[in-house]
Amino acid sequence: QPDQTHPDDVYSMVIVSNRLPVDYDEQPDGTPGWKTSPGGLVTALEPIMRAADGAWVGWAGVADREFAPFENDGISIVPVPLSEDEIQEYYEGFSNDTLWPLYHDVIAPPTYHREWWDAYVRVNRRFAEAAARAADEGATVWVQDYQLQLVPKMLRETRPDLVIGFFNHIPFPAYGIYSQLPWRRQVIEGLLGADVIGFQRQADAGNFQRAVRRLYGYTTRGAVVEVPEGDDVRRVIARHFPISIDAEGFEQLARRPDVQARAKEIREGLGNPKTVMLGVDRLDYTKGIRHRLKAFGELLRDGRLSVSDASLVQVASPSRERVETYRQLRDEIELTVGRLNGDYSTISHQAIAYLHHGYPREEMAALYLAADVMLVTALRDGMNLVAKEYVASRFDEDGVLVLSEFAGAADELRQSVLVNPHDIEGLKDAMVAAAEMPRKERARRMRALRRRVRDYDVARWSADFLETLTGNATIRPGVRDD
Ligand code: GDG
pLDDT reported for residue 479? 47
Closest atom of ligand 1 to 200 CA is 28
Q: What is the band of 50 on the pLDDT scale with cuts at 50, 70, 90?
A: confident
Q: What is the band of 480 on the pLDDT scale with cuts at 50, 70, 90?
A: very low
Positive/negative CA dihedral, 442, 443, 445, 450: positive
Q: What is the band of 30 on the pLDDT scale with cuts at 50, 70, 90?
A: confident
Nearest partner of 99 among 167, 166, 147, judged by Cα: 147
Nearest partner of 21 among 54, 51, 52, 43, judged by Cα: 43
Q: What is the pTM assigned to this prediction?
A: 0.95
- Ligand 1 centroid – CA 384 distance (Å): 7
- Ligand 1 centroid – CA 263 distance (Å): 21
Radius of gyration of the chain (CA): 23
Inter-residue contact 430 to 417 (CB < 8 Å): yes
Cα angle value 13/19/25 (rounded, 5°):
115
Helix H or strand E segment including 310: strand 310-317
Percentage with pLDDT > 70 across the chain: 97
pLDDT reported for residue 40? 65
Burial class, 210, CB count within 10 angstroms (exposed 0-12 / middle 13-18 / buried 19+)? middle
- Ligand 1 centroid – CA 345 distance (Å): 30
pLDDT at 481 exceeding the cut of 50? no
Which one-letter amino acid corresponds to residue 146? Y
Question: What interhelical angle do 247-255 and 257-269 show, nearest 10?
Answer: 70
Residues sharing a CB contact under 8 Å with residue 12, sequence separation 6 or more, in sequence order:
52, 53, 54, 136, 138, 139, 140
Q: Whose CA is nearest to atom 10 of ligand 1?
A: 386
pLDDT at 255 exceeding the cut of 50? yes
- Ligand 1 centroid – CA 83 distance (Å): 26
Closest atom of ligand 1 to 407 CA is 30
Which of 282, 388, 403 should be mutated for ligand 1, with most atoms under 8 A from CB?
282
Q: Which residues line ligand 1 (CB under 6 A)?
A: 40, 169-170, 243, 280, 282, 315, 317, 358-361, 364, 381-386, 389
Report the DSSP pairing between strands 75-79 and 70-72: antiparallel
Closest atom of ligand 1 to 40 CA is 32
Which one-letter amino acid corresponds to residue 14? V
- Ligand 1 centroid – CA 385 distance (Å): 6
Closest atom of ligand 1 to 381 CA is 30
The mean pLDDT value of the chain amounts to: 94
Tens-digit pLDDT profile for residues 114-151: 999 999 999 999 999 999 999 999 999 999 999 999 99
pLDDT at 107 exceeding the cut of 80? yes
Give mean pLDDT, residues 250-278.
97
Cα angle value 439/441/447 (rounded, 5°):
100
Closest atom of ligand 1 to 243 CA is 28
Q: Whose CA is nearest to atom 23 of ligand 1?
A: 384
Q: What is the band of 475 on the pLDDT scale with cuts at 50, 70, 90?
A: low
- Ligand 1 centroid – CA 316 distance (Å): 11
- Ligand 1 centroid – CA 111 distance (Å): 24
Q: Whose CA is nearest to atom 33 of ligand 1?
A: 386
Tens-digit pLDDT profile for residues 323-338: 889 999 999 999 999 9
- Ligand 1 centroid – CA 87 distance (Å): 21
Sheet order of strands, 11-19 included: 3-4, 70-72, 75-79, 54-59, 11-19, 135-144, 163-167, 196-199, 232-240, 224-229, 220-221
pLDDT reported for residue 299? 98
**Phi, psi angle pair for 445, to nearest 5°:** -65, -45
Q: What is the band of 35 on the pLDDT scale with cuts at 50, 70, 90?
A: confident
- Ligand 1 centroid – CA 208 distance (Å): 24
Which of 167, 285, 386 should be mutated for ligand 1, with most atoms under 8 A from CB?
386
Q: Whose CA is nearest to atom 36 of ligand 1?
A: 359
Tens-digit pLDDT profile for residues 133-143: 999 999 999 99
pLDDT at 476 exceeding the cut of 70? no
Q: Which residue has the higher pLDDT, 412 or 41?
A: 412
Count of alpha carbons within 13 angstroms of residue 112, beta-carbon side: 9
Give mean pLDDT, residues 94-102.
97
Beta-strand runs (E) in 183-299: 196-199, 220-221, 224-229, 232-240, 275-282
pLDDT at 482 exceeding the cut of 70? no
- Ligand 1 centroid – CA 40 distance (Å): 8
Give mean pLDDT, residues 351-379.
96
Q: Cα 297 to chain center, whole Å?
A: 28
Which of 383, 413, 456 should be mutated for ligand 1, with most atoms under 8 A from CB?
383
How many of the other CB atoms lie within 10 Å of CB of 13?
Answer: 23
Q: Whose CA is nearest to atom 30 of ligand 1?
A: 382
Inter-residue contact 373 to 435 (CB < 8 Å): yes
pLDDT reported for residue 7? 77
- Ligand 1 centroid – CA 380 distance (Å): 14
